[in-house]
Amino acid sequence: MTDPLPEAEGPQRIMELASGLWVSKTLSTALDLDLFGTLAAHPGATCTELAGELGTSVRPTRSLLAACAALGLLTRVGEKCFNTPLSQRHLVRTSPAYFGGWVEMLDRHDYPGWMRLHDALRHDRPTAWDPDEQNSLFDSADPVMLETFWEAMTAVSAVTARALGSRIDLTQAHALLDVGGGGAAWDIELCRMHPSLRAAVYDLSHVCELTQKKIDQADLGDRITTVPGDFFADTCFPGGYDTHLFSSVLHDWPDSRCRELLTRSFTALPPNGRLVIAELLIDDDEDGPLDAALMGLAMQVETWGRGFTAAELTDWLAETGFTDIHVTRVQAPTANAGVIARKP
């Protein structure tokens, strides 16, 4: 029997859990007001000066600054306010390492669906979009939503690609097909790591149009191409690639469709071709880790998919015909593992 918690500790912990939305809205609102960009342009600004720059009153600005300071997003020297290294690097829009797209996507797109999580669980259907009007999350024609979504995906995927890509041996790979790889973040990072590698993003046509801009910005148009298509509607995957990549793709779809994608990959790959899967995997006993478990729950709101375990993926791959299956663990925003398999 475990020792009882001190009287105040239990309620305090529950309050912290229940108040998570307060933290998220503090961050997203500060970002929306461009607080961090303003401090980057005017380091040392006071509360009164920031209120004038942001177009807010002094009283709420003071509360916002106190909350951001408590979250480690700004620091003070007397009355003067400054960005911390974290906010300066990742929350200033002009920074190459800007991560605010992920925050904006959650706030504008995901959280309205999360506020109806009960409905998503009760009715077993997404709430972040209307399944009666769209076939999937990715069918949206809303240009603002598309831009926000893919900016977010690019931000988190680039970090993950650098972390996991450095742990995967691609020295024998020559041509990589990034299945559902809109944004080309993985392809850009992997091509930078491996000068002899070429890659192609295989995704919906409107996603490829947005992706081409990212490829051009990276000045990698001679090595990275786009292949417009629909990986379920097309009769087969494009040929000519010795490596396939599924990054945060499988968790979007029901089990039967995941296994269909694995079969299509197996069919299209040449002998000795390899499949790389990057995912936030739930532990085999399904009691964590927290980021993977919450991502799995997010799929109830956003897609028809779920989170899954390394054991499940390994079984699916083996049943499809893949061999030499192994799991490489990593710590990154959208993947805690890479699952690599070979076609005999």
The tens-digit pLDDT sequence of the chain (344 residues) is: 556 666 678 888 898 989 999 999 999 999 999 999 999 999 999 999 999 999 999 999 999 999 999 999 999 999 999 999 999 999 999 998 899 988 998 998 899 999 999 999 999 999 998 898 887 777 665 666 667 777 777 888 999 999 999 999 999 999 999 999 989 999 999 999 999 999 999 999 988 998 999 999 999 999 999 999 999 999 999 999 999 999 999 999 999 999 999 999 999 999 999 999 999 999 999 999 999 999 999 999 999 999 999 999 999 999 999 999 999 999 999 999 999 999 99
How high is the pLDDT of residue 11? 87
**Domains 9-90 and 154-342 fall in the same CATH topology:** no
How high is the pLDDT of residue 150? 72
Do 310 and 142 touch, CB atoms closer than 8 A?
A: no
Query: How is residue 232 written in tokens?
Result: 């379920």
Catalytic-labelled residue, pool 109, 118, 251, 326: 251
CATH of domain 154-342: 3.40.50.150
Secondary structure class of 42 (helix, strand, coil): coil
How high is the pLDDT of residue 101? 86
Alpha-carbon Rg of the chain, whole angstroms? 22
Q: Helices marked H in the chain — which ranges?
A: 9-18, 20-32, 35-41, 47-54, 58-70, 85-90, 100-105, 111-114, 117-123, 143-165, 185-193, 205-217, 255-268, 290-302, 310-320
How high is the pLDDT of residue 97? 87
Q: Helices marked H in 81-180 — which ranges?
A: 85-90, 100-105, 111-114, 117-123, 143-165
Q: Where in the chain are the domains?
A: 9-90, 154-342
- Is residue 251 part of the annotated active site? The answer reads yes
How high is the pLDDT of residue 327? 97
Q: How far apart are CA 64 and CA 69, in angstroms?
A: 9
- pTM for this predicted structure: 0.90
Do 274 and 245 touch, CB atoms closer than 8 A?
A: no
- Picking from 179, 264, 174, 190, the residue whose alpha carbon sits closest to that of residue 228 is 179
How high is the pLDDT of residue 134? 81
How high is the pLDDT of residue 2? 57
Type of residue found at 62: R
CATH architecture of structural domain 9-90: Orthogonal Bundle (1.10)
